[in-house]
Every structure is written in C-alpha cells, then in structure tokens.
Amino acid sequence: MSENMSESVAITHSHEQAVADKTAFGFWVYLMTDCVLFATLFATYAVLHNNTYGGPAGAELFKLPYALVETLLLLTSSFTCGLAMIALQRRDKRQIIGWLSGTFLLGGAFLAMELAEFSHLAAEGHSWTASAFMSAFFTLVGTHGAHITVGLLWILVLLPRIARQGITPHTARRLALFSMFWHFLDVVWIMIFTIVYLFGALHV
C-alpha cells in the first residue's frame, strides 16, 4: 500500500514537472516571436525616422529627461519584480505580495507617463497620422505600452491568487513566467530609450 502511494506521488510529480517544462518552453517560444515583432518595429522605425513630412524631428519633440524618468520607473519595477522572485525562493507570501504590488505601482506610473506623452503629442498636432516618422514612433512605443498593460493585468490576476492559494507550484510557475515577461519588456524599453530618445536627441 505504501509503495503504491509512493509510486502514485512520483507519477503525479513527474506529470506536473512535464507540464511545467512544456509551459516554460512554450513561453520562451512566445518571447522569441515577440523579439521578432519588436525587431521588425525597430527596423521600420530606423527606416522611417527621417521621414518627418516637413514636421519636427525627434530632437524637437521628445524630452530626454522625461524619458529618463520613465526608464528609471521601469528599471525600478524590474528590480522589485526580482525581489518578489527572491521572496518566492524564501516562500515568503507577504513579501511576494508587497514587492509585486510595488511592481504594479511603478509599472502603472510608467504607463501613465507614456499615455500622457502620447496625449501631449497628439494635442500639439503630432499624432500618428502626421508623418511616417510619427506612425513608426507611435507603433513601436505603443506596442511596448500595450505589453505593459498586459503585464499590469497579469499582476492583478496574480495578487489575489497568491493571497488566497499561497505559494503552490501553480502560483510559483505563473510568477516565474510573469517575471520573464516583465524583464523582457524592460530590455525592450532600454532599446527604445537608446534608439528613439537618446539617438533622437543626438540627431543620430
């Protein structure tokens, strides 16, 4: 009887591990497709960033200090996400919830600043229809913002589940996948900051 129970537990554990491995692999494949998506958008922006249709260029439109604040917010949110993963290793539910909530607030502040920038540009007549340059800018940065929105909704789903269920293999796996996603968005934003804002300010 004891041997049968041990065998059953081993089979269950093996099945759960197989599911976890397949989920992780599938998520890596998704991130690779997202890399292709953003690479395409970056290439499009590189081709079109001088096509201003007689309008102002990036150096005249973008405020580098504003973009730097956005960058610091997102980098800090990535740091708090990492602290949540450390808390997961310690199985500290309270700290996981705290750091994840901090990630949500910082990510929300970043998204609010991004939307405010879009609104300001559109109000001054520099919407996505103004030129090929603005279309490429809004598409690239807006796609990143859409991903941030998905990440924030993901946190809103994670928090109550962790609060109710505690640290289970399922909640731990979901948190690990979210962490991969959020750090990926952080890397993409650093590229956006460098190519769009920094190079734009330097007229590159």
Give 195's DSSP letter.
I
157 within a domain of the structure (yes/no) = yes
- What is the number of residues in the chain? 204
Q: Is the pLDDT of residue 2 over 90?
A: no
123 and 61 Cβ atoms separated by less than 8 Å: no
Give how many domains the chain has, as a whole number. Answer: 1
- pLDDT given for residue 72 in this prediction: 98
Q: At 54, phi and psi to the nearest 5?
A: 80, 0
- pLDDT given for residue 149 in this prediction: 98
31 within a domain of the structure (yes/no) = yes
Residue 41: both structure tokens together: 């958008």
172 within a domain of the structure (yes/no) = yes
Give 128's DSSP letter.
T
Closest C-alpha among 190, 192, 45 to residue 131: 45
- What integer is the mean pLDDT of 70-98? 97
151 and 120 Cβ atoms separated by less than 8 Å: no
191 within a domain of the structure (yes/no) = yes
161 within a domain of the structure (yes/no) = yes
User: Domain residues for 32?
Assistant: 22-201
Rounded CA separation 108/151 (Å) = 10
Q: Is the pLDDT of residue 8 over 70?
A: no
- pLDDT given for residue 24 in this prediction: 82
190 within a domain of the structure (yes/no) = yes
- pLDDT given for residue 13 in this prediction: 47
3 within a domain of the structure (yes/no) = no
- What DSSP line would sit under 19-86, residue for residue? HHHHHHHHHHHHHHHHHHHHHHHHHHHHHHTT--TTS--HHHH--HHHHHHHHHHHHHHHHHHHHHHH
Could you tell me the CATH number of the domain that includes residue 151? 1.20.120.80
> Considering the chain, what is the average pLDDT of its residues?
90
pLDDT digits over 35-51, tens only? Answer: 999 999 999 999 999 99
Q: Which letter, b or e, does each residue of 157-180 get, where b requires 16 or more Cβ atoms within 10 Å of its Cβ?
A: ebeeebeeeebeeebbbbbbbbbe
pLDDT digits over 90-126, tens only? Answer: 999 999 999 999 999 999 999 999 999 999 999 999 9
81 within a domain of the structure (yes/no) = yes
